[in-house]
Chains A and B, each alone.
Chain A
């Protein structure tokens, strides 16, 4: 799916006062969007919860882990499902792009009671080899027999 990216072939070039007026006009919309985003996030937090009854087992660097273990001592857990199937020679490029943003966030999230963990279906050894190539540090576990996404 493509984003609505309008690439103007010949941009309009205007004097500074006119530029500033146009910029301020857009700023109104940006502020409106920021408020709408805050409101959407508030509504997201107000969604009902569902209890997890299924027992998951993951294969992690320290051995077998349950879903409770993945919280790493925090009360909030965010799991990213990284597309890396058993036998793939490398992880999906788009998921790698997203994951390039993870390491820098982990310490900040931990300070806000959030554990961020990555899960894939490939065996742990395949994940760890690719993780080394990419230079990532984040916690990455394998769930071979079941999908975690609910």
Chain B
């Protein structure tokens, strides 16, 4: 990302120009290295394409309340660092 992109409010992310609220954007990329040492890029995924990396989402999807994101500013607004939830605290009260 460049400062010019920041100025326009849109950045290239997930294969399209869009707004993103951070100078950093998450993603995963996959590579293969052959016997001769050549390296190839085989795949990249971003945004909700990363959902499948989150095992806890799969457990939540089995529960009656699901991910319970309705009314949140964004889907992951309830997420805290694992040392920041506090005992017995349920995050995400609307």
Partners in one complex: yes
* A83 / chain B contacts, CB cutoff of 8 Å: 22, 24-26
Separation of A148 and B79 alpha carbons in the complex (Å): 26
CB of A139 within 8 Å of the partner chain: no
Name the contact of B82 in the complex, choosing from A5, A90, A134 (C-beta under 8 A).
Answer: A134
Inter-subunit contact A52/B40 (CB<8 Å):
yes
Choose among A83, A96, A97, A100 the residue with the greatest number of B CB atoms under 10 Å from its CB: A97
Interface size counted on chain A using CB atoms at 8 A: 44
* B70 / chain A contacts, CB cutoff of 8 Å: 2, 5, 7
Inter-subunit contact B67/A49 (CB<8 Å):
no
Q: A7-B70, A49-B41 are in contact. Are A67 and B28 (CB under 8 A)?
A: no
Name the contact of B31 in the complex, choosing from A67, A96, A101, A134 (C-beta under 8 A).
Answer: A67
Task: Tally A-B pairs: CB < 8 A.
Answer: 130
CB of A11 within 8 Å of the partner chain: yes
Within 8 A of B (CB), among A35-81: 44, 47, 49-52, 67-68, 71, 75-81
A-B contact pairs, 28 of them (CB 8 A): A1-B48, A1-B74, A3-B75, A7-B64, A7-B68, A11-B64, A49-B32, A51-B39, A52-B31, A52-B40, A75-B34, A79-B29, A79-B30, A81-B25, A83-B25, A92-B24, A92-B26, A93-B76, A93-B84, A94-B76, A94-B79, A96-B81, A98-B50, A98-B53, A121-B24, A134-B82, A149-B29, A150-B44
10 interchain residue pairs of minimum CB distance: A83-B24, A49-B40, A5-B66, A77-B31, A52-B39, A94-B76, A2-B69, A150-B41, A81-B27, A97-B79
